[in-house]
Chains A and B, each alone.
Chain A
Amino acid sequence: MNAGVVARLSGLRHRYGERLAADGVDLEIPAGCMVGFIGPDGVGKSTWLGLIAGARRIQQGRVEVLDGDMASRRHREAVCPRIAYMPQGLGKNLYPTLSVFENIDFFGRLFGQSRAERERRISELLASTGLTAFAGRPAQKLSGGMKQKLGLCCALIHDPDLLILDEPTTGVDPLSRRQFWELIARIRAGRPGMSVLVATAYMEEAEQYDWLVAVDSGRVLATGTPAELRARTGSETLEAAFLALLPPVRRRGHHALTIPPLEAGEVVIDARGLQMRFGDFIAVDDVSLQVRRGEIFGFLGSNGCGKSTTMKMLTGLLKPTHGEARLLGQVLDARNLDTRRRVGYMSQSFSLYAELTVRGNLALHAQLFDLPPVDAAARIDELVQRFDLGPVLDALPDTLPLGIRQRLQLAVAVLHRPDVLILDEPTSGVDPVARDGFWELIIDLSRQDGVTIFITTHFMNEAQRCDRISLMHAGRILDSDAPAALVARHDASSLEDAFIRCLEAAGAEAPLAEATPAAASTAPVPTASAARIARFSLARLLSFSAREALELRRDPVRLTLALLGSVVLLLVMGYGISLDVENLRYAVLDQDQSIASHDYTLRIAGSRYFSEQPALHSHDELDTRMRHGELAMAVEIPPNFGRDLARGTPTQVSVWLDGSMPTRAEIARSYVTGMHAQTLAEGLLLSSGNASQAPASIEMRYRYNPDMRSIVAMVPAVMPLMLVFIPAMLTALGVVREKELGSILNVYTTPVTKLEFLLGKQLPYIGLSMLSFALMFLIAIGLFQVPFKGSLLTLVGGALLYVTATTSLGILASTMTSSQIAAIAGTAIGTLLPAIQFSGLLDPVSSLQGAGAAIGAVYPTAHFLIISSGTFSKALGLTDLTGSFLPLLLTPPLLTLVSALLLRKQGR
C-alpha cells in the first residue's frame, strides 16, 4: 500500500435492511492530513467511519487500514492500539458516573499503560484541553463541549496514528467548538504524522480541512480539497458547492430562504425578572423579555446555560421561583393543562413513540390534545401535505433520517395550533438541505400563522434568521437584540464573533491559549508498549473490574439493596418458610358423643400439629366450612361408635382432608394415620382388649436435625437462593445496559478481548456476593443459632464457585437479550423458577420428573444446596461432597464460553 494512504475502501457494500449505507464505495484516503466526510444524515458517513475503525463488521468489500485488511482479526488486534475512535453522540462512550480523571484513566489502563505513565499523560491532556479544574467532576455533569473534549482526551491517551471523529461538534456551542478545533490543530502540530478523519454537518468547519469526501446515498459524490470542490462547482461557499454536487432529485425544491419582514403585532409574552432556582443552584437569573406575535426568538449559548429552562418559564411550563410571565396579559400557571394547549414543544431528543408509525404518532397526539375526530383527520392531512410526510406515513420513526424525524416532531408539536412554539435545538445533527427545509416551515408558521417561536441553535446562519436572539451564559442573558444590531454593537465581523466576544467579556471557560502545548507531551511515541498487545491481559481485565466496582460504589442504592436485601430476605424467609406443618385447623363431627368418641378425638386435640376449631354439627356445615378454607381437616365419628367398639363390631372413623394443598393434606393424613395406629396399639379404646397389641413398632431416628426444626433445615437452603437471585440480577444488566447506552463501543475499538470484558465485569460482583455470603453466614450461626458442623473451608469454596456460576448466569442473560426489560424478566424467570421449584428446596431433586428433573440435575443451586446443607447439618467435608463440586466447577467456564460466543466484538 502507498505510504501516503491511511485507508483504502474497495467495493464496499453495507446494508441495513432496505437501506444501503455503502453502495460500492472505492476510496483512497490520504495519510497525515485532516479528512472531512460531508453529506446529509443517514447517507452512510458514520457507517464508513465505523468500518474503518473496526467497530463494525464488514459485510461486503474490502477495507484496508494502516496497511492491512480490517476483515482479519489478527490485523485488527494489531492496529487497534494505533486507532482512536470517538463515536457520534455527546459523550456516548463515556461512563457518566465516573469522573473526568477516572474516565481517561480507564482508557489508559486498557492500553496497558503504567500508573506513572497514565498520570503524566492525563495531567498533560487535561491541561491542554483546559479540563484540569474539572478532573473530579462526574462526566454526566459536564456541558456538551466539555464532554467532547473529555472524549477526545480518552481517544488520545494512547497516541493514535489514526484519529476518527464522528460529528464531534454536533450540539456543541460555538465557543467550545472553536476551542475544540484549536485543540485538534495543536495536537496535529505535535504529531504531524497523525491522520484525522472527521464526519461533520458544519460546512464552515469543513472549510478548514485538508481534503474532503462528499457523500450521498452510500456513494462518493466528489473528493478533493475544499478549494477544488468550490472551483469545480463554481460556488462561493462549501455549502453551495455541496448543494451543487447533489443530484437534482435530492436537491428538490431547495432554494435560498427569504424571510418576510415581521409585522409589528401585539406583545404576546411579557416576562419580568424571571428567576429559576433548583436548591442552591440558580439556573436562570433575572430574565425580562417581551416577545411579539409571530416573532422568531432565538437563544444562543452553551449546553446547560439555562436556555431550555428559560423557554419553559416563558411559556408557563415551568413555574419561576421569582418573577412572572404573562401570555396575552394573563399570568401563566405551570399546572394548568390549558397552558399546555397553547404551547407546542419539541424537545432536544426525539421523544415520540418509536413503536408507533408516523401516522400512529400523529393520530395519538391528536387524540391526546382532544381534537374532534373530524377536525383531527383534516388537520393531520393538512400537516402531512405541508410537512411532506406523505411518503413515510407508514414507516417507523427509527427507520427515518434525522431530518424527516425532526419534521415529524414539528408536525406533532403544532398539531393543536398552539400560540407559542418551543423548539429546543431542532436542527442539531441535521444536514444543510434538511435544515433549510425545516426553517422554511418555521418561517411559514411564524409569518403565515402568527405563531410565536422560541428556538435554540448552535448554527450561526440559523441564528442570523431569527428576528431577535439572546446570548446566554451561566443562567444570564448577556445581550439580546436583532442579529445585525448585535454584530454592530460588539464591533464584530460576524455574529459568531460577536457572541464569542460577549462570552469572553463575561469570563467564560478558561481560554485555551494558556494551556501547555500538547506537542511536547505527545511527541515521543512509546513504540515498545504499543507494538506488542498480549492476547489475554490481566491488567485489562482488572481495569474493567476497577471501573465496574467504581460505578457500583457510586450507586449506593444498588449496593445497599444487594447487601441489605439478602440479609433482610434471609431473616424473613428463614423465619417464614416453614415446612413443619403445624396448627392445622380441624373440627370434629361427633355423631356419637360417647366417652369412647371423646377419648378418640382428644388424642388429636392434644397434638401440636392440629388446632381444634368449634365442633361441627352437620355434613352441610362440614362442606361449607371446608369450602371457605376454614378447615384443613374434618374428623367424622359415626353414630354408635362407642357401642360398636365395645362389641367388637367393625366401625369406621372418616377423615376429610382439604385436597387443595396436596402437600398439607398428605402430611395431615400421615399424622392422623400415625395417631390412629398408636391409639390402636395402646389398645385404650378396646374393652375387649384381646387382639390389637401391635406386633411390631417402628423406632424413628431423625438425623441431622433431631428436633425437626424447620429453621435448621431452612437457613442453609435459603442462603443458596439469595446467592442466585441477587448476584444474577446484579450482572444481568451489565452487558445489555452498555449496549443500550452505547459504551459497548469501547469493547469494539480497544484491544480488550471478549473474555477480559466479561470476566472483568463479573469480578466485582463475585466479590460483593461473597461479602453478602459472609454476612448471611454470620446471621445464620449468630442470630438463628443454626449449628455449623462441617468444614468451613468447603462451604466457602463451594460458595465461591456457586456465586461465580450465578453471576455468569446473569452475564449470559445479559448477552442474550437486547433490552433491559427483557434482561430483567429473563433473569427473574431463569432464576426464580428453577431455584425454587427444581433445586430441591421443597422436593428433593431425585423425586422430580420430566423437564424439572433435567433442570434440577444441572442447575447450580441444586448442587450448592447439597453443599450448604451438607456442611451445615451433616458435618461433611470436601471429600464427601466431590459429586456436588464437580458440576459447580464446570458451570462457570461453560456459561462464560456461551456468553463469549454470543457477544460480538464488532457492531453491525
Chain B
Amino acid sequence: MPRRLSLRHIGQLGFKEFRSLSGDMAMMFLVVFMFTGSVYSESTAKPESLNRATIAVVDEDRSQLSTRIIAALHPPQFIDPQYVDLAEMDRGMDAGRHTFVLDIPPNFERDVLAGRAPALQLNVDATRLSQAQTGTGYVQNIVGNEVQAFVQRSQDSVAAPLELVSRSAFNPNLQASWFTAITAIINNVTMLGILLTGAALIREREHGTLEHLLVMPVTPLEIMLSKIWSMGVVVVLASSLSLQVMVKGLLGISVVGSATLFGFSTLLYLFAAASIGIYMGTLARSMPQFGLMSILVLLPLEILSGATTPRESMPEQIQYLMSFAPTTHYVALAQSILFRGAGLSVVWPQLLMVAAIGAVFFALALRRLRRTIGAMQS
C-alpha cells in the first residue's frame, strides 16, 4: 500500500507549477498587480482618520462666534463647509451631499455670552455609520473648543483644570494607510492562496493531466503537497516583497515587527488557504462552479475576519463562526506582529490555531482527492 512520501516527486511537481504559472501572462500580471497596484491604490485611497467629510452649515446667527466655528471646520477633516438654508438642508442630506449639517440658531453668540447655554443642532446622516461616529466627535470637540476659547477671551476666565490627553500606541498619528496596506496584503494572500491551488487542480482535471498522474507512481498526497509548496513560495515571496518594497519603501510606513516571523506565519497560513482551495477544487465539478464558490468563501473571509472592521463588535455567533476560519487568526497575528512588534511568545496561540485549522482542511481535501481520483480510475 501507499509507499513512503517522495520528497523528490513533490519538489519536481512543484517546479512544474512554477513553469505553468509563468506561462500564463494574464495570471502573472494579476499576481504582480495584486501586490503592487492594488496595495498602493487601496492604502492611498483610504482617508487618514476623518477625511474630507462633507459638511454644510445653516448659519442663522451670522455672528463673530458662528463665523469662528465655521472657520474651524476645515480640511483635511472636513471639506470647506457649504452654506445652506433650512430647506436646502433636507434636500442636501437626502441626496447624500452632506453627511453633517450644523445648524447655528439665531442669537447664538448673545445667548452664549449671557450664559444661557444655548444648543446647536448637528444633523448626522446615520446611514454612513463610520463617518457619522468619528465625525460627530470631531464636530463636538471643535465647537466646544471654539466656544470655550471665545468665552474665555471675553470673560478672561482660567483654563480648564482637567485635561484629557490621548495618545495612540503603535500608530501615533492614527494613519489609516498603515492598516489598509496590511489589510490589502492579507486579503490578497487569502485570495491567491485559495484561487491558485483550487483552479490549478480543476484545470489539470479538465485538461486530463491529472488522469495521467494516476498511472504514474505518484500519490494524491504528493500532488497536494507539491501544489501547496509551490503556490506558497510564490505568494510568500510576493507578499514579503510587497511588504518591503511597497509598504515600507514606497508608502513609507514603518513596520516594527519581524519580517521573518511574518513570512513564516504567512507560509503557515498559506498552507491552510491552499488546503481550502484544493478542498473546494475537489468539490466543484467545473470552473464556473469553482468561481462562484470562491466568491462565497472569499467574501466572508475578507469582511468578517477582523481585517476590515473590528471583530469584537460583531455579534457573538459570527465571532464564533469565524473562529473556524484560519483568516481570523492570521489577521490577529499579522496585526500583532506588524503593528505591535509582537514576537513568537505573543502570537504562538494564533499560529497554532492556523496550523490546526489548516491540518483539518488538508485532511479533508486529501480524503476528497483520494476519493475523486478513485472515482476517475473507474
In the complex, per-residue mask of B316-349: 1 if CB is within 8 Å of any chain A CB, else 0? 0110011000000000100110011110001000
With contacts A695-B117, A696-B119, A851-B41 taken as known, whether A828 is within 8 angstroms of B295 at the C-beta atoms is yes
A853 at the binding interface (Cβ < 8 Å): yes
Partner of B217 from A369, A676, A817, A883 at Cβ < 8 Å: A369
**A823 contacts across to B, CB distance below 8 A:** 291
Contact between B30 and A822, CB atoms less than 8 A apart: yes
Contact yes or no, B127 A335, CB < 8 A: no
8 A Cβ contacts from B10-47 to A? 12-13, 16, 19-20, 23-24, 26-27, 30, 33-34, 38, 41-42, 44-47
Render A204-219 as a binary contact track against B, CB cut-off 8 A, 1 for contact: 0000000000000000
B2 to chain A, nearest CB (A): 7
Known: A576-B303, A659-B170, A828-B195. A652 touches B130 (CB 8 A): no
Query: In whole angstroms, how far apart are the Cα atoms of A847 and B20 in the complex?
Result: 42
Contact A695 B127 (CB under 8 A): no
A667 B130 Cβ-Cβ under 8 A: yes
Total interface residues on B, CB under 8 Å, equals 154
Binds B, one of A118-126, A337-345, A449-457: A337-345
A193 is an interface residue with CB less than 8 A from chain B: no
Contact call B291/A708, Cβ cutoff below 8 A: no
For chain A residues 270-318, which have a beta carbon within 8 Å of chain B?
A: 276, 278, 309, 312, 317-318
Return chain A residues, CB-CB under 8 Å to B143: 696, 698
Partner of A726, one of B170, B292, B317, B322: B292
B283–chain A nearest beta-carbon distance, Å: 9
**What A residues does B293 contact at CB under 8 A?**
561
Interface of B is mostly: helix
A573 located at the interface, meaning its Cβ lies under 8 Å from any Cβ of chain B in the complex:
yes
A649 to B136, CA, bound (A): 30
| Complex CA distance for A87 and B318, rounded to whole angstroms | 53
Smallest CB separation, B171 vs chain A (Å): 3
Tell me the bound Cα distance from A369 to B172 in angstroms. Answer: 59
Nearest CB in chain A: distance from B67 CB, A: 15
Q: How far is the CA of A660 from the CA of B168 in the complex (A)?
A: 9
Give Cα distance in the complex from A92 to B47, angstroms.
52
User: Does A116 sit at the interface, judged by CB under 8 A?
Assistant: no
**Most B CB within 10 A of own CB, among A558, A626, A628, A663:** A663
Residue among B20, B94, B95, B199 making CB contact with A824, cutoff 8 Å: B199
A578 touches B313 (CB 8 A): yes
From B53, B79, B296, name the one whose CB has the most chain A CB atoms within 10 angstroms.
B296
Contact B315 A673 (CB under 8 A): no
A439 partner residues in chain B, CB cutoff 8 A? none
Asked whether A846 is an interface residue with its Cβ less than 8 Å from the other chain, the reply is: yes
Residue A510, interface by CB 8 Å? no
User: In the complex, what residues of A have CB within 8 A of residue B119's CB?
Assistant: 696-699
- Contact: A337 with B217, CB < 8 Å? yes
Are B132 and A702 touching (Cβ within 8 A)? yes
Task: Report A-chain residues with C-beta under 8 Å of the C-beta of B93.
Answer: 703, 874
A698–B117 CB distance below 8 A: no
* A880 and B95 alpha carbons, distance in the complex (Å): 6
For A579-590 the 0/1 string (1 means CB < 8 A from B) is 111111100000
A680 at the interface (CB under 8 A from B): yes
B260 CB–A CB distance under 8 Å:
no
Mark contacts of A367-383 with chain B using CB atoms, 8 A cut-off: 1 yes-contact digit, 0 otherwise.
11110000000000000
Tell whether A258 is near chain B: CB-to-CB under 8 Å.
no
Query: Which of B206-214, B234-242, B267-275, B352-360 lies on the face that meets chain A?
Result: B206-214
Establish whether residues A653 and B163, one from each chain, have CB atoms under 8 Å apart when the complex forms. Answer: yes
Do residues A665 and B174 form an inter-chain contact, with CB atoms below 8 A?
Answer: yes
Contact (Cβ within 8 A) B169 A626:
yes
Contact A677:B140 (CB < 8 A) given known A343-B215, A701-B121, A849-B44: yes
Is there an interface contact between A848 and B46, defined as CB atoms closer than 8 Å? yes
Instruction: Please provide the chain B residues from 115 to 162 with a CB less than 8 Å away from any CB of chain A in the complex.
Output: 115, 117-134, 136-141, 143-144, 147-148, 150-151, 157-162
Q: Which residues of A contact B364 (CB under 8 A)?
A: none
Contact of B339 among A367, A660, A663, A873 (CB under 8 A): A660
Query: Does B292 lie within 8 Å of A652, measured CB to CB?
Result: no
Contact of A874 among B94, B151, B285, B286 (CB under 8 A): B94
Residue B96 interfacial (CB < 8 Å): yes
Q: Which residues of B contact A248 (CB under 8 A)?
A: none
- The answer to whether B292 and A627 have CB atoms under 8 Å apart is no
Q: Name the distance in Å between A656's Cβ and chain B's nearest Cβ.
A: 5
> Knowing A629-B340, A826-B26 touch, does A278 contact B378 (C-beta < 8 A)?
yes
B121 touches A849 (CB 8 A): no
Chain A residues whose CB sits within 8 angstroms of the CB of B191 once the complex forms: 825, 828-829, 832
Is B131 a contact of A843 with CB atoms below 8 Å? yes
Contacts of A855 in B (CB 8 A): 41, 45
Interface centre among A629, A714, A881, by most chain B C-beta atoms within 10 angstroms, is A629
A703 to B250, CA, bound (A): 41
User: For A732, what are the chain B residues with a Cβ–Cβ distance below 8 Å?
Assistant: 291
CB-defined contacts of A558 to chain B, threshold 8 Å: 288-289, 292
B336 touches A628 (CB 8 A): yes
Q: Which of A561, A628, A665, A880 contacts B292 (CB 8 A)?
A: A561
Q: Residue on A with the closest CB to B118?
A: A696
Q: Is A525 among interface residues, defined by CB-CB distance under 8 A?
A: no
- Given contact pairs A351-B212, A365-B216, A572-B304, A850 touches B45 in the complex (Cβ within 8 A): yes
Interchain nearest-CB distance for A359 vs B (Å) = 12
Q: Is residue A231 contacting chain B, with contact meaning CB distance below 8 A?
A: no
Contact of B296 among A565, A653, A670, A673 (CB under 8 A): A565
A584 contact set on B, CB distance < 8 A: 310, 312
Which stretch (A141-149, A324-332, A684-692) binds chain B? A684-692
Closest CB of chain A to B94's CB: distance in Å? 5
In the complex, the chain A residue whose C-beta lies closest to that of B180 is A837
Which of the listed residues A318, A353, A664 has the most CB atoms from chain B within 10 Å of its own CB?
A353
A905 CA to B332 CA in the complex, in Å? Answer: 51
The reply on B175 being an interface residue by CB < 8 A is yes
Closest Cβ of chain B to A727, distance in Å, is 10
- Pair B309/A579 contact, Cβ less than 8 Å: yes
Extra A-B contacts (6), CB below 8 Å, given A368-B217, A691-B157: A558-B288, A627-B336, A666-B174, A699-B119, A849-B51, A850-B41
Question: Top 3 nearest A-B pairs by Cβ distance?
Answer: A852-B45, A670-B137, A659-B171
- A/B interface sample: 30 pairs, CB < 8 A: A335-B1, A343-B215, A360-B19, A557-B285, A561-B292, A568-B296, A572-B304, A573-B299, A576-B318, A583-B312, A650-B163, A655-B165, A656-B168, A659-B169, A663-B176, A663-B309, A666-B49, A670-B140, A697-B118, A698-B140, A702-B124, A732-B291, A821-B199, A829-B33, A832-B298, A836-B302, A836-B308, A842-B130, A843-B131, A870-B95
